[in-house]
Amino acid sequence: MERITIDPVTRLEGHGKIEIFLDPDGEVANAYFQIPELRGFERFCVGRPVEEMPTLTNRICGVCPEAHHMAAAKAGDAVYHVEPPRTGRLLRELLYSAFYFTDHTTHFYALGGPDFIVGPDAPAAERNILGVVGKVGMEIGGKVIEARKNGHNVIEMIGGRKIHPATAVPGGMTHGITEEQRVEIERIGRWAVEFAQFSLGIFDKIVLGNDAYKEMVLSDAYTHKTYYMGLVDPNNKVNFYDGQVSIMSPEGERVGKYAPAEYRDWIAEHVEPWTYLKFPFLKKIGWKGFVDGVDSGVYCATPLSRLNTADGMATPLAQEAYERFYDTLAPATPGATGKRLVHHRLATHWARLVELLYAAERMVELATDPEITSTNIRTVPTDKPTEGVGTVEAPRGTLTHHYWTDERGVLTAVNLIVGTTNNYAPMAMSIKKAAQSLIHKGTVVHQGLLNRVEMAFRLYDPCFGCATHSLPGEMPLQVAIRNSDGDVIEVLSQNC
């Protein structure tokens, strides 16, 4: 059988590797997306004190440590059956909103966005932040650096460090903020709102104003009808820090909402022997393999998924952007019931900008809350520690930490369902679909395959820092085309 290996920089561990097999007619028989690394946090966190989990699990991912920090602190709250005081909760959410703002900015301008801003057909060497600067103008480079600096400064003010924060503990926070810091955070928040609106404006002008790009967004090659998952508040609005997990069917029916502690009634993880990463799926629907549709338990947890599972955004400007998103991509049809969904996976980039605006508006709301500088930031637990679940919405998917402890609060078992992992099956499916649409009768559309596979990755913003170490979206790819004897007959490469 002929075989195509897409190995991101041959032998470079940790990036993910794709094997595509062709049948005798030269059509794609199967595609395997392998994750070649494991570190074993679920094992070696056993025996550690529960209050250390927010700092230990930071080290799962240096790209999104804030998500693990918060999920671990919330699981610690649950283990001790305590709620942080209101200010403790607000501070955590403020740090988290600043993190979302920083992370989404990085993705849109440096990683995923260049495909659109510079253009999907531009040479790979130009599809990067420098290409964005070239197209939009010099000032954008400075703005992006300023946005990242601003975001990291807020994270450091509240979390004590720019990377791997230190202040969230079971029961609240170790440290509050001063009025002087609050003023600075409010200033940054207001700047961030303008920056997010500016970013949506760029998307409007460059992507929506270009029929060719719009057609690509709406094309079948980038469409998957799966279930969607995301955290929502009591009004079913998107929430990053807290709430219930909402599940939406591919047909727009809300299948259910569950409290994070009930996650095992809803999610299970499938195992394959050819990869170190597991494949989460909806337990009630069941694992039916790497397939779309209402009968397959495969779900997606991304910015697009969050918009699809919610009824709207909790802040006014983001709500306007949300309405425009659906009115443009899924116009209302008379008589139709149920939630209007967008299944076009490339629209994830736009959804990310709607969330960017929400994160910025939420920063301002939190920074202007009269209680944000209160020193009442900790609840000291009095109950015996037992078991607890903590869930936040990480930028790359719903993140769940589940701990069991002995009576001293020392961990006896740990279960983690990590953001990007939620999207492992959908990513594998997107890769297979891209391959199927570009390989026929043994003929490979060379550059097209590489571009499409890479774009299929980038829209998910895969962060295998959680499983490996590659930065989201940056995928050096090398394709070796082998004949049926396994000999390499041709090598194509991009970014490597």
Cβ pair 214, 203 in contact under 8 A: no
Q: Residue 373 carries which side chain, given as an amino acid letter?
A: T
In the bound state with other proteins, the residue whose beta carbon lies nearer, of 19 and 204, is: 19
Within residues 50-79, the interface with other proteins by CB under 8 A covers 51-52, 55-56, 58-63, 65, 76
Cβ pair 227, 248 in contact under 8 A: yes
Residue 308 Cβ vs other proteins, minimum distance, rounded to whole Å: 23
Residue 171 Cβ vs other proteins, minimum distance, rounded to whole Å: 5
Retrieve residue 48's tokens: 């550690």
Which residues partner with 312 through β-bridges?
237
* Coil, strand or helix at 207: helix
- Where does this chain touch other proteins (CB under 8 A) — which range of 12-20, 321-329, 391-399, 434-442? 12-20
Retrieve residue 45's tokens: 């966190």
Q: Does 470 bind other proteins (CB under 8 A)?
A: yes
Q: Does 465 bind other proteins (CB under 8 A)?
A: yes
- Where does this chain touch other proteins (CB under 8 A) — which range of 204-212, 245-253, 326-334, 404-412? 404-412
x/- mask, other proteins, residues 155-184, rule CB under 8 A, reads: ----xxxxxx-xx-xxx--xx---------
In the bound state with other proteins, the residue whose beta carbon lies nearer, of 46 and 218, is: 46
Retrieve residue 111's tokens: 């990683």
In the bound state with other proteins, the residue whose beta carbon lies nearer, of 44 and 198, is: 44
Q: Does 287 bind other proteins (CB under 8 A)?
A: yes
User: What does each C-alpha distance from 243 to 349, 363, 420, 457 come to in angstroms?
Assistant: 24, 18, 20, 28
The single residue among 100, 101, 240, 263 that binds other proteins, judged by CB under 8 A, is 263
Q: Does 221 bind other proteins (CB under 8 A)?
A: no
In the bound state with other proteins, the residue whose beta carbon lies nearer, of 42 and 323, is: 42
Residue 334 Cβ vs other proteins, minimum distance, rounded to whole Å: 42
CB count, 10 Å around CB of 345? 24
The single residue among 276, 293, 320, 386 that binds other proteins, judged by CB under 8 A, is 276
Cβ pair 411, 48 in contact under 8 A: yes
- From first CA to last CA, the distance across the chain in angstroms is 27
Q: Does 430 bind other proteins (CB under 8 A)?
A: no
Within residues 73-112, the interface with other proteins by CB under 8 A covers 76, 80
CA 90 remoteness from chain centre: 22
Q: Does 408 bind other proteins (CB under 8 A)?
A: yes
Retrieve residue 478's tokens: 């090398």
In the bound state with other proteins, the residue whose beta carbon lies nearer, of 291 and 336, is: 291
Q: Does 283 bind other proteins (CB under 8 A)?
A: yes
Residue that is written with structure tokens 């966005």 in the block:
113
Q: Does 138 bind other proteins (CB under 8 A)?
A: no
Retrieve residue 119's tokens: 């253009």
In the bound state with other proteins, the residue whose beta carbon lies nearer, of 356 and 467, is: 467
The single residue among 138, 220, 234, 273 that binds other proteins, judged by CB under 8 A, is 273
Q: Residue 288 carries which side chain, given as an amino acid letter?
A: K
* Coil, strand or helix at 389: strand
Q: If binding means CB under 8 A, how many residues of this protein chain bind other proteins?
A: 101
Q: Which residues of 192-230 are buried (b: 16+ CB within 10 A; e: fewer)?
A: bbebbeebbebbeebbeeeeebeebbeeebbbbebbbbb
Q: Does 21 bind other proteins (CB under 8 A)?
A: yes
CA gap 269, 267 in Å, rounded: 7
Q: Does 214 bind other proteins (CB under 8 A)?
A: no
Q: Does 36 bind other proteins (CB under 8 A)?
A: yes
User: What contacts 446, CB < 8 A, 6 or more positions away?
Assistant: 492
Cβ pair 31, 18 in contact under 8 A: yes
The single residue among 380, 443, 485, 487 that binds other proteins, judged by CB under 8 A, is 380
Q: Does 149 bind other proteins (CB under 8 A)?
A: yes
The single residue among 14, 134, 252, 312 that binds other proteins, judged by CB under 8 A, is 14
Q: Does 272 bind other proteins (CB under 8 A)?
A: yes
